[in-house]
Structure 1
Amino acid sequence: MAVHTAAHHSSGQVLPFRESLLAMLGISFVTMLVALDQTVVGTALPTIVSELRGFELYAWVATSYLLTSVITVPIFGRLGDYYGRKPFVIASIVVFTAASVLCGAADNMLFLVLARGLQGIGGGMLVGTAFACIPDLFPDSVVRLRWQVLMSSAFGIANAVGPSLGGFLTQYYGWRSVFYVNLPVGLLSLFFVWRFLPHLRHVEHEGKMRLDWPGALLIAVALGSLQLFVELLPKHGVTLSAFALLALSVASAYALWQWEKRCPTAILPVDMFRNRSLAALFTLAVLGGFTMFSMLFYAPLLFQGGFGMSPKEAGLVITPLVVFITIGSIANGRIVSRVSNPNLMLYIGFSLVALSCLGIVAATRSMQQWVLMSFMVVGGLGLGFVMPNLTIFAQQTAGREHLGIATALLQSLRMIGGMIGTALTGTLVSHLYASGVRSALDNANASHWFTDLGDPQILINRDAQTTLVDQLTHAGHNGAMLLESAREALVGAIHLGLAMAAIIAVVSVWQSRRVPPIKLQRKLEPVIHAD
């Protein structure tokens, strides 16, 4: 067993340049796998739902993935701290790629939701371990920022081609191909990680580690019941079962807090939440996730369902959002190590995200495409300024011992924010859309057509629209006008949902002042090379 000391390399990295580059390529392909999946599926989702017929499960295609990954991220973040991250990165690629194949083979919405849940387990393992490999390889935070550009670029390339690729594949090869596209990327990342990523373990974790299973179970119950409550509430109001789910979630969260205070190998180190700086960063991760996922999931539905764009056109308009996340990250890497107050980037980033949301809220169908795309550019830049800094600041503050769990928690909390965001925005959208359509149909004395028009998927499926308009006209109603009313109801509903996201972004700007001034220090510490 060779001991590598980070100080051996004057540039503040554990491995020489060539090995560092190849290892980082492996991690970058892994990142690409997760990013590609999130963006490609977002664009294809309206088409998937119209074919598999199950709008009531629309949010669950995203939610099941988020829920299982949220639970697994902290578990594997902690395990990686103890046993080294390489074995878990390899296992996660295998699980994620296999689950992608199952998603592509789904013949109904429930099967797809379950396969997405399995994919989320793989995704959670990936995020929990791959992101924390970077500070292992580059203990010096300034050097790390430079190398992180490689990962941001991979993330960006995947995000950039994602929406257009999703639209293109869906239109020409069917929606199943958007899942099968993960297969070549998965195999490529497996090769690089297996061959070039070193198995690094930290010196202080030589003993056997006991995993905190009660903690893991309590996290699963608390988050699962919260998710179900958020989904049920707008559909059925305050019912006994909704109230029971909320009570279960609160009770589990309280039990988790009490248990983790006493558990010697806590999966959630409670002292991290007592750290003022980390607590503020964690809050920002939740708020950032809420806004980001609301935009990523409901902007495509607005452009396709509300404005009548094809999947390909909608993909093209969404593309600048994800391209500029990368450009923002790269620019941020250059700026943040040069300014005296790195915290400033958080204020600028969240302000841009708020502006972008407000732009989408003001968007109309007659607006030119370049105007819509410029709103996307602003949002992407904002997210590019926020996301890498939250990670670097948290790693800087948490220190070596809690590095993996801090990185994992940050990603988890961003996903929890996303889960709450997509669920709340989603339930608000379906509720407002349904009531808008119902009143339009009532006015036209056509309320019995609600089953056909009450589901927004009709606004994406062109063939179904033509058939329905013919049937309505045949029955003596103005079919085109009723369809237009449904479109207006959807646009109004999504506008309100994204206005809520804009408010959350403004709250994030205000919340950023709670982060104590961060200083990017150079730290070089020994690690054990366990290959």
Structure 2
Amino acid sequence: MAATAESIHSPPGTLSDHPVDTFSGEKDDRDLELPTPSSLSDDDSLSRPPMSKPRLVLLFFGLFLGSFLASLDISIIATALPRIAADFNAQTEMSWIATAYMLAYTALQPVYGRVSDIFGRKIMYQLACVIFLVGSIGCGAASSMTMLILFRAVQGLGGSGLFSLVMIIIADMFTKVEERARYQSVVWLAFAISSVIGPLLGGIFVEHATWRWCFYINLPLVTLSFVLITWLFNLSFESERSKISEKLARIDYLGVMLAVASVICLLLALTWGGTTYPWNSARIISLFCVFIVLISALMWVEGRAEEPVIPPALFKNRDVAIVLLVSALIGFVFMGCTYYIPLYFQVVQGVSTTISGIRLMPNVIGLVISTTLASFLMKRFSDVRLFIWTGLCIFCTGVGLLILFGVHTPVGEQVGFVLIMGFGQGLVFQNCLFACQELADKKDLAVATSLCGFINAIGSSVGVAVCAAVINNRLLDNLAKLPEALQAMVREADAIENMTAVATLPDAVKDSVLEAYAESFRFLFTIFTPIVGFGLLASLFIRRKKNV
């Protein structure tokens, strides 16, 4: 799997030779030099001006802002959606505010990695900032739902680059896995923070100002990130000195178009299926068929491209393929739990939206603790597989404990189970990324980094769609077991389509319906547990990278 510290060679004069610990506060006044990017050979000519520790901290603050904003715009609109829909009188189009962002955000993940190999990390990060800025301005100034949805897609195009390029830049700067772990944990910290404060900020803006500030808040932050990266990041690529026409000629245009189109078809089918249209409708079946045709064409095209946007060699590498599989499975289960644990709290436990969010916070706390802990232990235990195996064991245990959730489960058990689950997630997420980076060829580091995030996002999107189908079908089966008189009362209250209506049912009916809901959630968690277990089993076949 991942190489030991000795087996990962660093070019002379890199940060690997002059370690600095900006998190532990250890004093080191020596100037630091940025290392050769992992995607380049040691002979490439680079501009590597000395960087002091304060400048390095500012650089990472700029990177933190980028990843923070990319994830913030996923969660901040959650509490603002009803108000936005009301202002535009477009309730039926409300879901597209989130879907448009996620479609663009997911589809472009693998593209940024390859294009940044051609044009350079810095210029692509700057471009992502500008696109995100334009999208945010357009969203804030939107005069119609159509305009808002369009600019949310533009935002997603920029947010995709902000996330993937931060990971790639850090991978370039640090060649040793233990150093990379320490600094890439900043990205996961940004995601954890944004997932907590995003919905709270959205609620504050809606109640005390306007929902438009959910987008305007991005303007000063993304501008600051742009300025800091422009000022401090001076790692240059040899390819940047070639002609623009030569760079443009290297882009795998057909591969890009096929990759984006296939992902959009898949995500649209999963988003619409079972909600907007029945799963057996001609539109959903057609989307799946087009996806299969496009993905087949993509595989054929990429096998013949000189610089493929998704190199087939990555999937031919058995160990990389296994890591990508684990990343997809964890994304599937993680997003399912993220969506449906709060629903369990709200429907079965009868708590408010705010309280359900607070009860889910231990998941984020566990994720932050384990991610930070792993980044510091990486130097002592350099085999990334140990962290993946440990994380999957803990994650599987946490998800398995969720099967005990019932109508009267004590709050302490709820919080404890969620905390265990989060602790396992933190160990798996970033270490799957490190494993991909270490197992892929040096020239494919940027693509492997973005591809890992892309596969995880695909798994997450599939997870949300499948979980919705599982919950709905199981709930209908459970309610069908009730006496006909009770079923009629449930239908009259519309307690199937509107989960909040369960609270309005008479006590004699509500207890039975709550148990039906609780059993449906338990069934979902019962499915999740072996999925994580399968991921653990698959990860055991990852081989450790040999010393070179």
Match of 2:331 among 280, 286, 289: 289
SS at match of 1:208: helix
> Which residue of the partner structure matches residue 525 of structure 1?
none
- Show the counterpart of 2:471: 429
Q: Work out the CA distance in 2 between the residues paired with 1:492 and 1:345.
A: 33
Aligned partner (choices 341, 344, 358) of residue 302 of structure 1: 344
Amino acid at match of 1:305: V
- What per-residue deviation string (whole Å, max 9, x for no partner) do you get for residues 110-139 of structure 1? 776655433322221222312101022223
Matches of 1:171 and 1:272, distance apart in 2: 48
Aligned to 1:473: none
> Which whole-Å CA distance do the structure 1 matches of 2:386 and 2:531 have between them?
19
CA distance 1:8–1:85, shift in 2 (3 Å):
closer
Q: Distance in 2 between matches of 1:161 and 1:274?
A: 40
**1:157 positional shift:** 3.3
> Structure 1 pair 326/85, CA: closer, same or farther in 2 (3 Å)?
same
Q: Find the counterpart in structure 2 of residue 409 from structure 1.
A: 451
Is 2:379 aligned against 1:343? no
Within-5 A mapping of 1:18-417: 18-41=54-77, 63-100=99-136, 115-162=151-198, 181-201=217-237, 206=242, 208-209=247-248, 210-231=250-271, 233-234=273-274, 236-339=278-381, 341-417=383-459
**Corresponding letter in the other structure for 1:228:** L
Q: Which amino acid aligns with 1:351?
A: C
State the 1:379 CA deviation.
1.6
Report the CA distance between 1:56 and its aligned residue: 7.8
- Tell me the secondary structure at the aligned position of residue 200 of structure 1: coil
Cα deviations across residues 207-249 of structure 1 (Å, max 9, x unaligned)? 5242212112211232222233334554524344433322221
Letter aligned with residue 497 of structure 1: L
Asked if 1 retains the 8 angstrom alpha-carbon contact of 2:119 and 2:239, the reply is no
| Kept in 2: contact 1:27–1:189 (CA 8 A) | yes
Question: Which AA in structure 1 matches 2:412?
Answer: W
Whole-angstrom CA distance in 2 between matches of 1:488 and 1:229: 31
The separation in 2 between residues aligned to 1:367 and 1:427, in whole angstroms, is: 25
Match of 2:526 in 1: 499
Q: Normalising by the residue count of structure 1, what TM-score does the alignment of the two structures yield?
A: 0.81
In structure 1, what is the Cα distance between the partners aligned to 2:205 and 2:341?
A: 19
CA contact (8 A) 1:456 1:490 kept: no
In the TM superposition, residue 140 of structure 1 has moved relative to its aligned partner by: 3.2
Q: Deviations over 1:339-368 (max 9, x none)?
A: 264312111111222222233332234333
Residue 510 of structure 1 aligns with an amino acid whose one-letter code is L
Question: Given the superposition, is the C-alpha separation of residues 78 and 212 from structure 1 closer, same or farther in structure 2, using an over 3 Å criterion?
Answer: same
Label 1:341 to 1:398 Cα distance change in 2 as closer, same or farther (>3 A).
Answer: closer
Q: Larger deviation: 435-444 or 449-458? A: 435-444
**Range moving further from structure 2, 315-324 or 409-418:** 315-324
Unaligned runs of 5+ in 2: 1-10, 20-32, 35-49
Shift of 1:411: 0.5
Do the aligned residues in 2 keep the contact of 1:293 with 1:422 (CA within 8 Å)? yes
Shift of 1:428: 2.6
With over 3 angstroms needed to count, the CA separation of the structure-2 counterparts of 1:263 and 1:280, relative to structure 1, is same
Distance in 1, Cα, partners of 2:437 & 2:271? 33
- Cα distance 1:121–1:381, how it changes in 2: closer, same or farther (>3 A)? same
Give the AA of the match of 1:201: F
1:509 aligned partner = 536
Is the partner of 2:459 in helix, strand or coil? helix
Report the CA distance between 1:259 and its aligned residue.
0.8
Preserved CA contact (<8 Å) 2:384 2:434: no
Aligned partners of 1:289 and 1:414 also within 8 Å: yes
**In the TM superposition, what whole-angstrom CA distance separates every residue of 1:21-62 from its partner, at most 9, and x where no partner exists?**
221111111111123334445577799889999998787665
User: Once the two structures are superposed, what CA deviation does each residue of 1:374-431 show, in whole Å capped at 9, x if it has no partner?
Assistant: 2221122111111111111211222432121110000000000011011111233344
Q: Quote the offset at 1:8 in angstroms.
A: 5.4
Partner in structure 2 of residue 527 of structure 1: none
The residue that corresponds to 1:7 in the other structure is 13
**Counterpart in the other structure of 1:475:** none
Contact 1:163 1:319 in 2 (8 A): no
The code of the aligned residue for 1:363 comes to: F
* Residue 256 (structure 1) shift: 0.7
TM-score (norm 2): 0.79
Q: Which amino acid aligns with 2:18?
A: S
Deviation at 1:453, TM superposition (A): 3.3
Letter in 1 for 2:114: R
Percentage of pairs with the same residue: 24
CA shift at 1:179, angstroms? 5.1
Tell me, in whole angstroms, the C-alpha distance in 2 between the residues paired with 1:440 and 1:115. 47
**Shift, 1:279, TM fit:** 1.1
Cα distance in 2, alignment partners of residues 47 and 304 from structure 1: 21
How far apart are residue 450 of structure 1 and its match?
5.0
Distance 1:374 1:47 in 2: 34
Q: Is the 8 A contact 2:403 2:522 kept in 1?
A: yes
2:28 is matched with none
Question: Structure 1 pair 504/153, CA: closer, same or farther in 2 (3 Å)?
Answer: same
After superposition, the C-alpha distances for 1:492-518 in whole angstroms (9 at most, x for unaligned) are: 434333333323211111111121114
How far apart, in 2, do the equivalents of 1:109 and 1:79 lie?
Answer: 32
Summarize the Cα distance change of 1:132–1:176 in structure 2 as closer, same or farther, 3 Å threshold.
Answer: same
Give 3-state SS (helix, strand or coil) of 1:193's partner: helix
Q: Distance in 2 between matches of 1:167 and 1:57?
A: 20
Q: Distance in 2 between matches of 1:106 and 1:491?
A: 41
In terms of fraction of residues, the more helix-rich structure is: 1
Instruction: Answer with 425-434 or 74-83: which moved more.
Output: 425-434
358-367 vs 75-84, greater mean Cα deviation: 358-367
Cα distance in 2 for partners of 1:158, 1:398 equals 30
CA distance in 1, matches of 2:509, 2:83: 22
CA distance in structure 1 between the partners assigned to 2:195 and 2:181 by the alignment: 20
Rate the CA distance shift 1:220–1:271 in 2: closer, same or farther, 3 A.
Answer: same
Between 1:78-87 and 1:61-70, the stretch displaced more is 61-70
* Alpha-carbon distance change, 6 to 341 in structure 1, aligned in 2, over 3 angstroms: closer
The size of the alignment, in residue pairs, is 502
**In structure 2, what is the equivalent of residue 526 of structure 1?**
none
- Partner of 1:453: helix, strand, or coil? coil
Contact 2:100–2:152 (8 Å) recurs in 1:
yes
Report the RMSD for the aligned CA atoms in angstroms. 3.7
The structural deviation recorded for 1:370 is: 3.0
